[in-house]
Structure 1
Amino acid sequence: MIVPTDIVPQITAIHASPTRLVLVFAGAGSLGLAWLHAIAGSSRTILEAVDAYAPRSLAEITGHLEASAVSAATAQAMAIWAYRRAQTLSEGNWPLLGVGLTAALRTDRPRRGADHAFLAIQNATACNVEHLVLNQQSRLEQEIAVSRWLIAAIERAVVPAP
């Protein structure tokens, strides 16, 4: 696994920050997690990552939310759960983030709806939710786009703007 050279500085900045994360994925983003782990420092940044692919797993994390699996509400519920989990796992007084990412990528079976993703990041005071429409041709291209988006969003959340 090779990390794209243009995102190495972003990941390095994430790991250089004092922020600790819990990430929850449903449908995409695991490549971004692999990239985070591929750069030294992930053991102090990432407290836990969960791939909630089974509907029952996602339901438990979201509190059986009556929303589409790929929606802003679901991503927000995932991020809130992840933030609370970070509070449980953190040893020390670190800034914490909960990250929730849910996506519908190209598939080998019929599916209704567009290829898109929602990303939510919960901190101590607010939850920011973003939406991404995917136009890439292949599932791998979509996974790469979602993972780049994830890394950029985490960097924005942990690195103060100049």
Structure 2
Amino acid sequence: MSDIWETDQYGRLWGKQPINGTVEISESNNKLVLELETGMGAGTGEGTGTDSGAGMGTGTGAGTDTSTGSSKRSYELRVPPGSYYTEYVQNRSELVEKLQELAQGAALPVDFRVGGYHQDEKYNVIVLQMQGGETLTGLSGTFAEAWIV
């Protein structure tokens, strides 16, 4: 678990940064690295990423803890630079749609969704939903810093 984020009982990570209106993604805030683990053990692993030049980088690595059967992998996504609009009323986000597209292309077992906070001010955030028994064990990158944590 991280000191700055945690998943809820349903395996969802709710972002803390509003994405209402138009957000600008540039080369300086487009890298998202997710570390996922299957199984209950600590497991070890390392991964490397590649950038296809089309704005989508993916990376995978695997390691196995033989005493528990856990497996750990790392995925890197790069959101193409541009402007992305989120409509609060319709709960629709071009940014979340792009993240979901990148995740599917990288066979990442995570769904990206639009979530809404209704505190003093209403706003939308990025929600990550782990799939297939995966546990989020690491989150980093310039995109995570700017738009999630």
Shorter-chain TM-score range: 0.3 to 0.5
Greater RCO, CA 8 A, separation 6+: 2
Higher strand share: 2
Higher helix share: 1
TM-score under structure 2 normalisation? 0.34
